[in-house]
Amino acid sequence: RRDVKATYERVHVGRARLVIVNLGDAENTNIILTIREVSADVQIAAFAESVDSVDVLELAGASRVVALKQSLG
């Protein structure tokens, strides 16, 4: 499961250089919050479906958020 802390502990997410999160905004938020429970330092890049979700993803702990639809037009 994507929002279970043990999943990220098993794969040693804290050792990753970067985690890319590219699902729906709500699921991305849950994943980011879960990853932050395991590692406060890992870099997380997230794609936002909605411009309105950028702030939420950043508050959840994403290091960088790209509003893909806005960027691509």
Determine the residue type at 64: R
Secondary structure (DSSP) of the chain = -TT-HHHHHHTTGGG-SEEEE-S-HHHHHHHHHHHHHH-SSSEEEEEESSGGGHHHHHHHT-SEEEEHHHHH-
* Per-residue pLDDT tens listing for the chain (73 residues): 888 999 999 999 999 999 999 999 999 999 999 999 999 999 999 999 999 999 999 999 999 999 976 666 5
pTM for the model:
0.91
